[in-house]
Structure 1
Amino acid sequence: MKMYKFIALVVISCCTLNLEATHNRAGEISFIQLSDFSIQATITTYTKASSTAADRDSLIINWGDGSSSTVLRSNGSGELLSNNTKRNYYIATHNYPGRSTYKISVMDPNRVDNILNIDPPNSVNIPFYIQTTVSLLNLQFQSPNRSVQLLQAPIDFACVGVVFQHNPAAYDADGDSLSFEFSVPLMDNNLPVPNYIFPNQINPGINNAIMLDSQKGTFTWASPQKAGEYNIAFIIHEYRKGVRIASTIRDMQIFVRQDCSKNTPPVITSAFDTCIVAGTILELPITVTDPDTLSLGSKIKIEVSGAPFFTSPTMVLMALTSYTTSPINAKLTWVTDCSLVRKEFYTLVIKATDNILDSTGISSLHTLRIKVVGPAPENLQSEADSKSIKIKWNHPYACTHFPDYFKGFSVWRKEGSSNIPLDTCNPGLQASSYKQIAYLVNNFDGMNYHYQDSTIVEGKFYCYRVQAEFATTSQSGFPINFVSSLHSNETCNSLPLNIPVLLNVDVTQTDSLLGEISVRWTKPSPIEFDTIKFKAPYKTSIYFKTKNNQWEKILNSEHSYNSYSSIIDTIFHHTRLNTAHLQYSYYVELLSTPLNEHFSDSADMIFLSTQGSDRSLTLNWNAVTPWTNYKYDIFLFNNNTLVFDSIASTNLNTFTIQKLTNELEYCVYIKGYGAYGVSRFEKPLINHSNISCATAIDNIPPCCPKLMVSDPCDDELQTPGLELKNKLSWTFPDICKADDAIGYKIYAYYNKQQKLIQTIENVQTQTYEHFLLDSIPECYLVTTYDLAGNECINVDSVCIEYCPIYNLPNTFTPNSDGHNDLFKPFPYRFIDKVEFKVFNRWGNLVFQTENPDILWDGKSSSGSRLSDGTYYYTCLVYYSGLLVHSNPTNQLNGFIELRSGQK
């Protein structure tokens, strides 16, 4: 913060050289990505037209890669607007060294004077700074990055006591999603203007509030309380597939006037957000009235802006655009086609202004969003053969004639029927229970589009829907920026049932040796099984396997039949199994003459595993079956009644039983409910899992505390080393409870090695003082532990930035009077050693030591007494341990006056 203040003073002082250079009102930077590494940037500024001395025919643009350019104004001497304002464009291109994210910025020395909410009354001395952040995209796989276009000028007018609204009419040609947020105006990179206050803080109160709609970008001020000029700033973020790819800061100015307080803004009546199907004609009636027409004789005019006026086909306004008498009845017409389909809304801003003031009037805004969605494919039908289901739908599709955008169809499937109403504002099946099975389908048989689904099984009822897919194309031909149409009608069908069908794989006994599973199946449908083609005699067999093993025939499961009618639905009990630890799978084989094989789909038993934890049991189970398991009941053995109780139901394959008692064993099983979705088969199909047991154990560590360390750096130093200590204290976050903790363990790090230095067995104690008698620790951490020995994990260590102190005197008197006889440092701390050397006036070394206490008695290293005089010393100081310092040593140099009375 101190650095920011210093920079601000420097920048401001540089700008006070020309107090007449009042200049900038508003602006922003936009860009277009031209290639992988090049962009074209446009700087748009709005300046005070009468400030000719500060007029800029060029600006310096910083590209964010360490380079800058001087950019000439591209629209001559600028475009004069009303209210002493001029609009200026500066356009330049730049090549970057590589793909990255760059911050493009411009700083101009002066804003206009008398801005009420920027360092009043010194706003003229505050630099004007705007920036835009751009991420260069890989154009092989993505479309170029184009910044948001702000179609409404950043100069607007408000009235004291009247609600004010402004919308920038933001438009992103790439269809990227936009969001808006407030920002403080800047004077340099990451440097806010000084003494900025938001407009609602000038004469604050309940009638003075501001708001920014984060989706539409509408700024509302209800309402201004003081006349004058204000500046606000906001950031527009652009996102593509949830990733931010650009951010633009707009700095804008609002003129608040006092002489319109008795004027009432016009009233706009029109539609709100709407969604339409491409190919339809959108007609939006607009009515504008002015309550002041009779009392003040004012007239009104209507203006519209926004994305629909920059598309093709373009929106058309049918109304007079000049001032006219209230009311105005207008109409917006948009003849849409498939090229307008996109995921994001188009924003439209309707503005009505009266002429009650001299150069402008009071305005009202009405902002609405319009989404254009792709039409649904029509007349979806299905037909089944022996192995697949064929779906077909009408050709041509409504958007077939837009091949650069319409890419094909996606096919979606589910088991069973679902009623999904069309929602023109939320197209697509992505959030439904349907699953996509094919993408970008364009198969055409001369009459219809079609798709053949062969990834299906007998006995299930399949339902389908189709939707169109749109996408732009990258420079290398890759489809990007996908968006889906409305979905088609639903069609459902199933395969002819000419195979046996499994109905149950039910665990009836759990044991590691004597486990049992009941397997039930039914023969093929007599209507769909061709007994002329597949003749008697018939033979049935059941096969089984465990995980990672081969299929085996169950020898005693074979049965022979002389006619189809004599085949009976069978329940087979498979015995002597390890159902406690293994999962078993089954299928049924039907043999007909001449040697035709008909196999059922395989089905697994529900295999349950349990894991004990702290006062809980976690259950996980799985089973791959041709039917759909839609619900599971969970049964827990009651040790009091000695029966299993139903305790919960779920449609998931996992569940946690809570509030158990540790060290007790609990046994559970799962009861599954399934169905084929075909009326021929009963519902539900009930199958049980194995019984699984586990013990609830305390294996969850207590919550970790948050550690704070107070080091001795701020303490007054008295006696070296003895009083040095680090004070540790810790607390628990609000969301954390350490109910079962019984104590703490304190660790210190020495040379990056962790060492336990203390165990505290009282959980109420939350402080500790560590005296630094020997070595110096770099970091600390404190953990909790419980009765089971669980110790908390993921605890953050706290490292200490020590403050070594080592200072030397400049004189001593070694005359054996008991006072100041030894040259030694003042009290010091955190010093490991020194390289202390003393030189006489001729540069000869006379004394040296590595003892940080030095204790020089005025004699040379050979023991002879030195004469009085001035000596030069050097002292290389080594800090203790691995202290948190960029430099572990410090070099001291100086002079020593030796005064012993010896000549």
Structure 2
Amino acid sequence: MSWKKLNRLLITILIIVYIPTIIKATHNRAGEITYVQLSDNYVRAIVTTYTKTSSSSADRDTITISWGDGTFSAAGRTNGNGTEFPNDIKKNIYIAEHQYPGRGTYDLGMVDPNRIDNILNIDPPNSVNIPFYIQSTITLFNTTFQGINHSPILLQAPIDFACLYQTFTHNPSAFDEDGDSLAYELVIPLMDRNLPVPNYLYPNQIKSGLNNNIYLDQFSGTFIWNAPQMAGEYNIAIAIYEFRKGILIGKIIRDMEILVQESCSMNSPPVISTTQDTCVIAGTFLEIPILINDADVGNKGGFVKVEAAGAPFVIMNNASVLFPPGFNKPLINGKFIWQTNCTHIRKEYYNVTIKATDNFFDTTGLSTTQTIRIKIIGPPPIDLKSKIINNQIELNWTKPYACDFDSTHFRGFSVWRKIKSQSIIQDTCNPGLEHSNYQKIAYLINSYQLQNYFYIDSNIIPGQLYCYRVQAEFAKISTAGFPYNFVGSLASNESCNYLQIDKPILLNVDVINTDPNLGSIGIKWAKPNPNFFDTIAHQPPYTIKLFYSNPNGSLSEIVSYTKTYSSYSNVLDTNFTHKNLSTDQFPYHYLVQFLSSDGFIAQSDSSESIFLKVKNLNGNVQLSWSNNTSWSNYLFSIFRKEENSVQFDSIGQTNTTQFIDLTAEQQQKYCYYVTSFGSYGFQGIDSILINHSNISCIKVMDDSPPCCPKLSVKGSCDENNNAELYNTLSWNNPNVDCPIKDVVGYEIYKLNKSNQRELLIKINDPTRLNYIHEYTIIEPLCYEVISIDSSGKQCESPINICANYCPAYELPNTFTPNGDGHNDIFKPIKNKFIERVEFQVVNQWGELVFRTEDPNLNWNGTNLKGSILSDGVYYYSCKILPYPSTQPLKDLMIKGFIELLKGK
């Protein structure tokens, strides 16, 4: 038997068992199921319900839990006879444990046959007969690698009081011990597994209007109802989703009751003044002032009681609020205090719900709820420094770190690096370097010597300026020590360093002239820095060689340039113009070698000339270029000139390798080039390196198809004469309504029922926007209008529109098949848009004499054997099958008589 069948059987059994008391057994108000994964497949479920104290006949000391794997367990109440509260409310807690057969995702459920009666928004007025069902979903993890899964716990009770015409707020104060992310959604309460209650209305649907709105904040869980318009009892359900690494791992559906009071409409709610969000570094003593006021001071409802709920009150080293107990006269000054420490660090906010309730009624009154969100983050590592050791960069920072011994969740440090320095703004609400320009190069570093943690970066290029930051990493761990739910601290200070340069450095690969055969490129480089090049170990003579290649060839030496120098100081010539190149066809790569007498070779990194390509794109010009250089280009300027102009003008800048010229005119020829601005980012080299691309020219042509017109067709439904049928076509002018304004004419096509296309007319005037199509055929017609631009391109994906037509079919009652050429054939008087008929003729004895499915009939007065029939009265029946129409025939079956008169 399936789980669903078992669950429905359980509901049936429960209802049968409680039939004798069902009339009095108004019972369940609210509840939810939470859970704890104790080991791989072992779970503890906690079912919390809120019931009607006075419904003693329906009181349950034991309930049944459905575990979602086809099994059920009895769970006894663990809080005695239940905890009673004012307003006829009792809280019940039931606990049971279960061993699942294996890992997976399961739905836990609990059903009771009775809700309370008179719930306004659940199948009114029959809510007492609707089962109460609460459900939660658990995903069982491999605890060795993934950790355990606790459901969120809900620290605010699911029963609250509202007042007619007053804004109501509630927050469940959910807290996830594992640090998983939570999201909230308003859903329909359940009566069975995944089965919503019938005839449910959201609270704002009862006396709906502009003054009746509900809203649930999906991030904080705060529910706002502004404002109730009818007093009574309501139920809502809030689904609380649990995510880990962006994957849904659990869900709780809380069924909640809201009691809307009527006689408090003149009462004002308390007002809470405090902060909403705050983010602090672990170790901070947090003190948040809270001020409570009420406009009804001195009148009924003028005293206020303050309560607080939330995760900071239930974890270790917990927080507290300082308020006088019970109801007090405003103004009431209080505070939230919390000595935070490293065990409190987590990615998610802690929610603290402050609830202020006045004493308008005997035991309760109008409430106001405000949620304070608090994030505790890790402190930054202190005093990061860098130094060069053995051609590597060593980083050091202070040990002990503020949380390396105080938090069971501290996992080590991550190291982040970028080229060149960057200042950052430390955001205590969004710590970490994940969204900065730094790249993570090392993770979970814990190495230390004496009073310093350290890390050595050996993956470095001489001359590059490397800048570093370090952040601490925190995470939960599985039973085998595998981390999950990581969160980073604030970043350390920045420290930068670089290895000195002992090789030549390319500075320019600059296109001087663009030509198919006579192009030229200027190359410039810097020789190795004499302060770091070992002229003792590598003695003269020194030889400089320059190499090049294009994309289609291998590296070749420019022999004409190779030079030898007798001493290092004589090496002065670091420029060369490479000529006779096809600079309009492709880019060129270059590198420089510096050779000493002992065979040592110091070689530069290669760099490529910027190669620009241009093409037409939707009536504009798209520029794209290569960018393969040993330095970093951070800006590109784009220059353009018209065909007959000498002067290039700047038309824009970008930091990418693409640019679209939106100002180019059609049929005009333009030439373009790009200037790059770059830098190596370290000392001793020109700070700005400027290079130019080849010149690339293009004639601007609109290569995009024109926009299709929007067609409408008006049929001649009222026209009775088949010979005068016509359809009126009209369309918009794409030159007015579309960005591409190059339409010069149109082609009008008709499509028959077989979707065959036939050109009706070609219009060479883009301002003509209508056409009348006269036709004699009686089949439905559809049309397309295709626009054509100045280069002959047609618009793509035109929409065919079919004419509205009115089927008509009418028969005569006499014909004279005597061969005189007049009225010899029996055929319809009207025959419009009829696809098929089932036409039969019988004689006076009921014998079939003629039949056809052709709507034209064309009966010549002979019988089925071809014999001529005698004069007389014949009877027909005709079932009419028209083409589908928006205006169908009223009569699809007609019957009548036909008088056949040969007159001879």
TM superposition score normalised by structure 2: 0.76
Distance 1:625 1:860, change over 3 A: closer
Q: Deviations over 1:295-342 (max 9, x none)?
A: 569654332222334545544456665456666665544454545433
Quick one: which of 476, 496, 502 aligns to 1:498?
A: 502
Quick one: which of 744, 767, 789 aligns to 1:786?
A: 789
Q: What code does the residue aligned with 1:791 have?
A: Q
Structure 2 residue aligned with 1:465: 469
Distance 1:310 1:687, change over 3 A: same
Distance in 2, Cα, partners of 1:770 & 1:197: 57
Distance in 1, Cα, partners of 2:275 & 2:24: 46
More displaced stretch, 476-485 vs 765-774? 765-774
Structure 1 segment 42-61 matched on structure 2, within 5 A? 48-50=52-54
Structure 1 residue aligned with 2:118: 113
Q: Deviations over 1:733-757 (max 9, x none)?
A: 9995564334455667766787767
Q: What code does the residue aligned with 1:170 have?
A: A
Structure 1 residue aligned with 2:87: 83
Q: Contact 1:234–1:249 (CA<8 Å) still a contact in 2?
A: yes
Structure 2 residue aligned with 1:391: 395
Quick one: which of 535, 544, 549 aligns to 1:545?
A: 549
RMSD between aligned alpha carbons?
5.9
More displaced stretch, 728-737 vs 591-600? 728-737
Quick one: which of 730, 733, 741 aligns to 2:743?
A: 741
Distance 1:425 1:768, change over 3 A: farther
Distance in 2, Cα, partners of 1:173 & 1:641: 72
Please state how far the C-alpha of 1:131 moved relative to its aligned partner.
8.3
Quick one: which of 433, 439, 450 aligns to 1:435?
A: 439
Distance 1:195 1:409, change over 3 A: closer
Q: Deviations over 1:21-71 (max 9, x none)?
A: 8958865765769799999988766555556788899999999x9x99999
Quick one: which of 567, 570, 586 aligns to 1:563?
A: 567
Distance in 2, Cα, partners of 1:174 & 1:753: 65
Q: Are 1:417 and 2:421 counterparts?
A: yes
Quick one: which of 652, 655, 658 aligns to 1:651?
A: 655
Please state how far the C-alpha of 1:698 moved relative to its aligned partner.
0.9
SS of equivalent to 1:275:
strand
Distance 1:738 1:660, change over 3 A: closer
Q: Are 1:348 and 2:347 counterparts?
A: no
Q: Contact 1:229–1:253 (CA<8 Å) still a contact in 2?
A: yes
Structure 2 residue aligned with 1:574: 578
Please state how far the C-alpha of 1:362 moved relative to its aligned partner.
2.8
Q: Contact 1:24–1:111 (CA<8 Å) still a contact in 2?
A: yes
Distance in 1, Cα, partners of 2:46 & 2:847: 70
Distance in 2, Cα, partners of 1:214 & 1:735: 41
Distance 1:649 1:855, change over 3 A: closer
Quick one: which of 356, 359, 366 aligns to 1:362?
A: 366
Please state how far the C-alpha of 1:722 moved relative to its aligned partner.
9.8
Structure 1 residue aligned with 2:277: 273
SS of equivalent to 1:565:
helix
Q: Are 1:156 and 2:160 counterparts?
A: yes
Q: Are 1:677 and 2:681 counterparts?
A: yes
Distance in 1, Cα, partners of 2:344 & 2:322: 21
Please state how far the C-alpha of 1:356 moved relative to its aligned partner.
3.9
Q: Contact 1:341–1:372 (CA<8 Å) still a contact in 2?
A: yes
Distance in 2, Cα, partners of 1:826 & 1:391: 100
Distance 1:595 1:198, change over 3 A: same
Structure 1 residue aligned with 2:693: 689
Q: Deviations over 1:219-247 (max 9, x none)?
A: 44566566544556666566666677777
Q: Are 1:516 and 2:520 counterparts?
A: yes
Distance 1:254 1:720, change over 3 A: farther
Q: Are 1:198 and 2:204 counterparts?
A: yes
Please state how far the C-alpha of 1:632 moved relative to its aligned partner.
1.8
Q: Contact 1:111–1:123 (CA<8 Å) still a contact in 2?
A: no
Q: Contact 1:46–1:85 (CA<8 Å) still a contact in 2?
A: yes
Quick one: which of 170, 190, 193 aligns to 2:174?
A: 170
Distance in 1, Cα, partners of 2:197 & 2:714: 33
Distance in 2, Cα, partners of 1:164 & 1:440: 47
Q: What code does the residue aligned with 1:740 have?
A: D
Distance in 2, Cα, partners of 1:772 & 1:246: 66
Q: What code does the residue aligned with 1:623 have?
A: N
Structure 2 residue aligned with 1:381: 385
Q: Contact 1:752–1:778 (CA<8 Å) still a contact in 2?
A: no
Please state how far the C-alpha of 1:424 moved relative to its aligned partner.
1.1
Q: Deviations over 1:854-888 (max 9, x none)?
A: 7888956686989x99999999x9998xx99xxxx
Quick one: which of 583, 586, 604 aligns to 2:608?
A: 604
Stretches of structure 2 that go unaligned for 5 or more consecutive residues are 1-18, 819-823, 886-891
Structure 1 residue aligned with 2:375: 371
SS of equivalent to 2:546:
strand
Distance in 2, Cα, partners of 1:614 & 1:536: 60
Distance in 2, Cα, partners of 1:105 & 1:869: 78
Distance in 2, Cα, partners of 1:194 & 1:37: 36
Distance in 1, Cα, partners of 2:613 & 2:190: 60
Q: Contact 2:412–2:473 (CA<8 Å) still a contact in 1?
A: yes
Q: Contact 2:30–2:159 (CA<8 Å) still a contact in 1?
A: no
Q: Deviations over 1:481-531 (max 9, x none)?
A: 443221111110111111111111111111111111111111222222222
Structure 1 residue aligned with 2:14: none
Quick one: which of 609, 615, 620 aligns to 1:616?
A: 620
SS of equivalent to 1:560:
strand
Distance in 2, Cα, partners of 1:84 & 1:728: 71
SS of equivalent to 2:596:
strand
Distance in 2, Cα, partners of 1:747 & 1:453: 71
Q: What code does the residue aligned with 1:671 have?
A: T
Please state how far the C-alpha of 1:662 moved relative to its aligned partner.
1.2
Structure 1 residue aligned with 2:460: 456
Distance in 1, Cα, partners of 2:509 & 2:359: 82
Stretches of structure 1 that go unaligned for 5 or more consecutive residues are 1-16, 885-892
Structure 1 segment 245-260 matched on structure 2, within 5 A? 252-260=256-264
Distance in 1, Cα, partners of 2:286 & 2:95: 36
Distance 1:531 1:332, change over 3 A: same
SS of equivalent to 1:377:
coil
SS of equivalent to 2:560:
helix
Q: Contact 1:836–1:850 (CA<8 Å) still a contact in 2?
A: yes
SS of equivalent to 2:648:
strand
Q: What code does the residue aligned with 2:159 have?
A: I
SS of equivalent to 1:157:
strand
Distance 1:831 1:209, change over 3 A: closer
Please state how far the C-alpha of 1:429 moved relative to its aligned partner.
1.5
Q: Contact 1:804–1:831 (CA<8 Å) still a contact in 2?
A: no
Q: Contact 1:614–1:696 (CA<8 Å) still a contact in 2?
A: no
Distance in 2, Cα, partners of 1:89 & 1:775: 77
Distance 1:621 1:870, change over 3 A: same
Distance in 1, Cα, partners of 2:416 & 2:878: 82
Structure 1 residue aligned with 2:888: none
Distance 1:814 1:161, change over 3 A: closer
Structure 1 residue aligned with 2:307: 303
Quick one: which of 516, 532, 535 aligns to 1:531?
A: 535
Q: Contact 2:464–2:681 (CA<8 Å) still a contact in 1?
A: yes
